[in-house]
Chains A and B, each alone.
Chain A
């Protein structure tokens, strides 16, 4: 079971801020499953085949850029958080 947290700006599509997803082994698989459930999210999150730079994805608090990107492995109990990139400074 992977715990997924969305920012409020996703809720127009996802309706809720927290969901749980089962049977996914990587971030890529998690995204595929989320996109099945929320097709609109895919349209907005993926630009030219890449994840928009305006949303960062974290696994247990670490940016997936510094892990294995979309191939970052997930295990039971992991928390995946989507966070708007435009903050700070």
Chain B
């Protein structure tokens, strides 16, 4: 068996591999414990390379045994961004473009794992708190798994994200308040319904493991090597922690050589993890949410302290570009690489830009950045910042006047 059980990330107390998420000794978060001897014996580069072109090529590293609930997530585009690199002054800049996942965000990776686990546990329904991307992903995977889904979102997120969840038949609950309010309510509901699988609450230890596949892909696509630096968007901070764990997994089983990868994290302006890194203080939640980047707008980040620790220990840094910088970065990526990423991707590119300008990234460093969602989901935020269209009568002369 590749999964031994769960373990508290704080006090180390061990638990069986059940739908648990909090330690009863110190209330810390739980993580999956694997039998690394089993994994080492079963995993190989050749086996992975012959696997499906989805995240399930890394199944030996994932905490599930059942047949996956699989829409084809993962193994997304890996691009050497020469044009963007030229603008920023980087020779070895790579992008993983998760906007091409089945529901157009990286959330398909975590949801595919969590919904598979919910089926293994025989759960009766699915649920989540979401800033938007998770909503669409969970709704689609729930449809595939033939399970009902209850999705809690803060009122006022992008319409496209709500429509995407509704079309798959999920029950979408718009909560008056912020994401943190929606998440608090969803956690209360999860407490009342232990036989429902809330993917980022009572299934969170398993769910988070899906994001490790971004680390495996990074290494595989670089020819089984680790990069010098990564730049990761942060909401709760869970993605950055998962990529860190993923790199460690690969070293542990001998698929890559050990390397001290520098971790950099990015959030919208004023958000807690970046603020804590910059000020050298503990992560302090914020109540007021002021950003157009809804998908990263978590005021009380669950993995904040862990993400901060990884960034600091690795010698990395954190950046929190302004909304205006974010929009400019979305446009820059679109105009240089032909990729329309959502605002979270803009945070990452804008953060990267600041890191380069501050001299924190060397121009020859191998840098990988993660674009976690699709631009069409947040296009309404860009409308006022684009050139307007030109309207003419269907006459050649009028067109010639426009380009004259």
Contact = CB atoms under 8 A, between A and B. Distances in A.
A86 B66 CA distance: 26
Contact of A7 (B25, B28, B191): B191
B120 to A, nearest CB: 20
B238 A54 contact: no
A87 B129 contact: yes
B21 A86 contact: yes
Contacts of B188: 5, 81, 83
A83 B22 CA distance: 10
Interface stretch (B299-307, B314-322, B388-396): B299-307
A12 B184 CA distance: 22
Contacts of B181: 61
A89 B239 CA distance: 9
Nearest to B282: A53
A9 B24 contact: yes
B27 A89 contact: no
A56 B300 contact: yes
Contacts of B278: none
A8 interface: yes
Interface string B23-40: 111111100000000000
A54 B204 contact: no
B201 A88 contact: yes
Interface residues on B, range: 35 or more
A63 B27 contact: no
Given A83-B184, A89-B235, A45 B300 contact: no
B286 to A, nearest CB: 9
Contact of B200 (A5, A56, A81, A87): A87
A86 B129 contact: no
B28 A86 contact: yes
B21 A87 contact: yes
A23 interface: no
Nearest to B304: A53
A89 B303 contact: yes
Contacts of B303: 86, 89
Contact of A89 (B21, B28, B198, B237): B237
Contact of B10 (A8, A17, A54): A54
19 contacts: A8-B194, A9-B22, A44-B25, A44-B27, A52-B26, A54-B26, A55-B27, A61-B181, A63-B285, A65-B287, A66-B287, A81-B188, A83-B191, A84-B187, A87-B198, A89-B236, A89-B298, A89-B301, A89-B302
Contacts of A12: 24
Contacts of B198: 87
Nearest to B285: A65
A25 B28 CA distance: 29
A87 B285 contact: no
A86 B25 contact: no
A30 B235 CA distance: 33
A63 B287 contact: yes
Nearest to A9: B22
A67 B15 CA distance: 35
A59 B381 CA distance: 35
B112 to A, nearest CB: 17
Interface string B184-206: 10111011001000101100100
Task: Among B180, B187, B204, find the residue whose CB has the most chain A CB atoms closer than 10 A.
Answer: B187
Contacts of B29: 54, 86
